[in-house]
């Protein structure tokens, strides 16, 4: 492990802003843990169907505040996307070539998912599994992938939105919600918020790339202002307290994004900006940086297969042990939560197996000049700096950098 950490450390450029990679890793882990904790597969008369503990145990609502971290991912995406496009223009690279590279890095790991799940669905149906169970499992895998569509669209629009002030998409969300909830407008108008809602943190990230969010005052303003606005919207405007959708509740803050989830995202972005300094100091430790860099290598694979890992554990549990607490039972009593927490290491082990099986679809084949491969017990000697790639592009060394004063460029 020490040798591996040293190799990662030596491959990292001195001006690498490791805290940005850590924020991305935190965002991905938040989504994974959030899905594992607020999504349950319940056995009912031989059929599996989804259920949420947030419906039965409202005291778990704060978990949605902790693990709904999408705004942080879009913040980092805006930062890295804007920097990447600016660098491409400086090199004289065309928009089409730049976009193809970005989309390849984002979507290449996705290609194998429909293949595997088409085979799995056909096998389940052929073996007698009822259609409702197959439909529920497939929905569990595919429903989180809306994120990739939105992120890809914002990435493609980076040249247009890189200099857009975040107040403009924020105003769109505000007007849409006023029409939707104040004037009883048709629900279809809310689809505008799918783009506008996530454009707010993406534009903040682009502003960050221009050096506009460097002061701690900005971080505190976003954190405290966003938190106060969210609390007010929940307390006096009737928005749900949960920052994720809850079955049986008429309004979801997330599908599509509401003003409450956008203000909550502003608070998260403020917290992320305030964490940059402490994260930079912590990530000077080679071992910790090696963990973050390794996760970024396969971040999209983790995102794509974490639900499959949970489903696999649930299915194996049914075949071998019958109905198990915290795995197949209705999440309607306090004892469900500690039982569920006990299953998280098992989910993680299953995810590790998926990671080993499918990570090659995310990583580009190393070249002679860009490699971390060790041959004959010795690290390859690169001519150019090695690169580690993640879900929104090249992370070593092509992500965010900082100047000698510790500020993002």
pLDDT, averaged across the chain? 86
Residue 10 above 90 pLDDT?
no
pLDDT the model gives residue 108: 87
Question: Does 353 sit behind a cis peptide bond, omega within 30 degrees of 0 on the bond before it?
Answer: no
pLDDT the model gives residue 271: 97
Helix axes 112-126, 131-142, angle to 10 degrees: 170
More confident residue, 40 or 408: 40
**Interacting residues of 96 by C-beta distance below 8 A, sequence separation 6+:** none
Q: Averaging pLDDT over each range in 156-160, 387-391, 400-404, which range is the top one?
A: 156-160
More confident residue, 376 or 26: 26
Residue 389 above 80 pLDDT?
no
Residue 390 above 70 pLDDT?
no
Cβ atoms of 155 and 101 within 8 Å: the answer is no
| Count of CB atoms situated within 10 Å of the CB of 184 | 8
Query: What is the Cβ-side half-sphere exposure of residue 132, based on CA atoms within 13 angstroms?
Result: 10
DSSP code at position 365: P
pLDDT the model gives residue 364: 60
Q: What is the pLDDT of residues 75-112, one digit of tens each?
A: 999 999 999 999 999 999 999 999 999 998 888 889 89
Average pLDDT in the 329-356 region? 95
Q: What is the pLDDT of residues 251-296, one digit of tens each?
A: 899 989 999 999 999 999 999 999 999 999 999 999 999 999 999 9
* CA-to-CA separations, 237 to 175, 197, 223, in angstroms, rounded: 14, 18, 20
DSSP code at position 243: S
Share of the chain above pLDDT 90, in %: 65
**Interacting residues of 337 by C-beta distance below 8 A, sequence separation 6+:** 53, 57, 60, 326, 331
| Count of CB atoms situated within 10 Å of the CB of 3 | 10
Work out the pLDDT band at 365, boundaries 50, 70, 90.
low
Q: What is the pLDDT of residues 199-255, one digit of tens each?
A: 999 999 999 999 999 899 999 999 999 999 999 999 999 999 999 988 888 889 998
Residue 351 burial class via C-beta count within 10 angstroms: exposed 0-12, middle 13-18, buried 19 and up = buried
pLDDT the model gives residue 24: 95
Residue 191 above 70 pLDDT?
yes
Lowest mean pLDDT among 71-75, 164-168, 329-333: 329-333
pLDDT the model gives residue 323: 84
DSSP code at position 408: B
pTM of the model: 0.87
Average pLDDT in the 336-361 region? 94
Lowest mean pLDDT among 145-149, 221-225, 268-272, 375-379: 375-379
Q: Which run of H or of E encompasses 44?
A: strand 40-44
Q: What is the pLDDT of residues 29-65, one digit of tens each?
A: 999 999 999 988 998 877 888 899 999 998 899 999 9
- Torsion, Cα of 119, 124, 125, 130 (10° steps): -140
pLDDT the model gives residue 13: 87
Average pLDDT in the 363-371 region? 47
Q: What is the pLDDT of residues 19-32, one digit of tens each?
A: 999 999 999 999 99
């Amino acid at each position: 492990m020490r040798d591996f950490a040293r190799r990662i450390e030596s491959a990292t450029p001195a001006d690498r802003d490791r805290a940005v990679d850590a924020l991305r890793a935190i965002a991905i882990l938040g989504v994974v843990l959030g899905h594992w904790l607020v999504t349950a597969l319940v056995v009912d008369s031989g059929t599996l169907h989804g259920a949420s503990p947030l419906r039965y145990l409202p005291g778990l609502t704060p978990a949605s505040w902790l693990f709904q971290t999408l705004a942080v991912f879009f913040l980092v995406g805006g930062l890295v996307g804007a920097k990447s496009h600016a660098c491409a223009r400086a090199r004289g690279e065309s928009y089409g070539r730049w976009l193809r590279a970005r989309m390849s890095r984002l979507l290449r790991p996705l290609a194998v998912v429909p293949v595997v799940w088409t085979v799995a669905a056909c096998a389940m149906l052929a073996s007698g599994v009822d259609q409702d169970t197959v439909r529920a499992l497939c929905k569990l895998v595919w429903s989180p992938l809306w994120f990739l569509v939105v992120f890809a669209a914002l990435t493609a629009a980076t040249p247009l939105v890189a200099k857009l002030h975040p107040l403009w998409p924020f105003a769109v969300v505000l007007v849409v919600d006023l029409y939707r909830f104040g004037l009883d407008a048709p629900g279809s108008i809310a689809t505008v918020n799918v783009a506008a809602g996530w454009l707010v943190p993406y534009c903040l990230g682009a502003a960050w790339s221009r050096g506009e969010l460097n002061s701690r005052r900005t971080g505190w303003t976003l954190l405290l202002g966003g938190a106060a606005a969210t609390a007010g919207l929940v307390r006096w405007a009737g928005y749900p307290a949960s920052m994720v959708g809850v079955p049986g509740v008429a309004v979801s803050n997330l599908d599509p994004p509401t003003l409450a989830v956008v203000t909550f995202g502003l608070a998260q972005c403020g917290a992320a900006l305030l964490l940059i300094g402490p994260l930079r100091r912590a990530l000077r430790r080679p071992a910790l940086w090696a963990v973050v860099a390794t996760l970024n290598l396969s971040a999209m694979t983790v995102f794509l297969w974490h639900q499959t890992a949970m489903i696999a554990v649930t299915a194996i549990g049914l075949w071998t042990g019958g109905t198990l607490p915290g795995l197949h039972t209705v999440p309607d009593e306090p004892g469900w939560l500690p039982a569920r927490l006990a299953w998280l290491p098992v989910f993680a082990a299953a995810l590790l197996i998926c990671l080993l099986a499918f990570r090659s679809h995310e990583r580009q084949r190393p070249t002679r000049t860009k490699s971390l491969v060790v041959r004959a017990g010795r690290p390859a000697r690169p001519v150019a700096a090695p690169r580690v790639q993640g879900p929104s592009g090249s992370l070593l060394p092509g992500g965010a950098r900082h100047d000698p004063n510790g500020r993002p460029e």
